[in-house]
Structure 1
């Protein structure tokens, strides 16, 4: 047992001596790289990698060109864990927006990010799902229950609240971020 431990220590020391150029690539990194290379974003979206050496953490900006959220710019952070693709990426909206499926803290309610995630799904499926949330908000599976109730009870009131909130206004006593495209 001591011999195995000693051999492992030598391997760790050798890896450290080789420096960052010889880092091992994880299964999550390989799958993320594959998924990212297969993504074909429309002109209403863009991806950004703040650290070019870290493909597991990036941002996605969505600028809907139709629907109630048209004219807005919404940024989502993606954090891909070491268990990807067996676990979904963690996705959060950076802005405080009025949406039935995105709460005040930016958590996103999208079924494929929770119970319906399967390893055969890829990052493109998540991106398409996010885009769809802006075209068809779902009041039946809400994180923001007030927004969901507004959408169910009065689409006109919901539309007014979306417009007001996107300009940095208040809905009830909650102030939202100005998300208009600049």
Structure 2
């Protein structure tokens, strides 16, 4: 009987040693599982591209590039970083615009005003929904819910001047006292 207990202890010890050497994968959080599902169902518009700066093993941090093909922002390239919380989808991803842009719904620090990233977030929404929402910001900027009040006022009062300011900013120039790097 004592030999049987010793044998079981040795087997257990051996299994633990192998597990340490082989490096069994850590248990995934609910957020990681959901992001994995969202990524497998991702259907990006043709104007969008996804990259993984930390490698494809880190699905909780990624970037989306949007290249609008119509309206004011046509020809620009705008990058957004996504940071997903372990409690996703119960809270929305943190999304920042990494490209400085003259836009009524994106401030100069990269904060994005998109209702589904704030008060209208629901766990049934997914990454695809957010990407389409971001893409829509470039085809239909909204002056009624601004983060950049100057851009919003110009869009509301003088759409032709707004378009000229967007072109100037995207080409790498100044709008007022603010410099924008080229993003075309």
**What residue in structure 1 maps to residue 9 of structure 2?**
none
SS of residue in 1 equivalent to 2:71 = coil
1:104 equivalenced with 2:108 (yes/no): yes
Could you tell me how far 1:120 is from its partner in structure 2? 0.7
Say if 1:18 and 1:113 are closer, same or farther in 2 by CA, change over 3 A: farther
**What residue in structure 1 maps to residue 150 of structure 2?**
146
Could you tell me how far 1:49 is from its partner in structure 2? 1.1
**What residue in structure 1 maps to residue 36 of structure 2?**
33
**Unaligned segments of structure 2, at least 5 residues:** 1-15
Could you tell me how far 1:42 is from its partner in structure 2? 2.4
**What residue in structure 2 maps to residue 83 of structure 1?**
87
Larger Rg: 2
Conserved in 1, the CA contact under 8 Å of 2:45 and 2:132? no
Choose which of 90, 97, 100 in structure 2 pairs with 1:93.
Answer: 97
SS of residue in 2 equivalent to 1:76 = strand
Give the ranges of 4+ consecutive aligned residues of structure 1 lying more than 6 Å apart after TM superposition: none
**Unaligned segments of structure 1, at least 5 residues:** 1-13
Q: Aligned pairs, how many?
A: 167
Could you tell me how far 1:149 is from its partner in structure 2? 0.5
Q: Distance in 1 between matches of 2:102 and 2:27?
A: 42
Could you tell me how far 1:20 is from its partner in structure 2? 4.7
Could you tell me how far 1:40 is from its partner in structure 2? 1.2
SS of residue in 1 equivalent to 2:65 = strand
1:8-19 to structure 2, matched below 5 A, reads 17=20
Choose which of 123, 128, 151 in structure 2 pairs with 1:124.
Answer: 128
Q: Distance in 2 between matches of 1:22 and 1:36?
A: 20
Normalization by structure 1: what TM-score?
Answer: 0.88
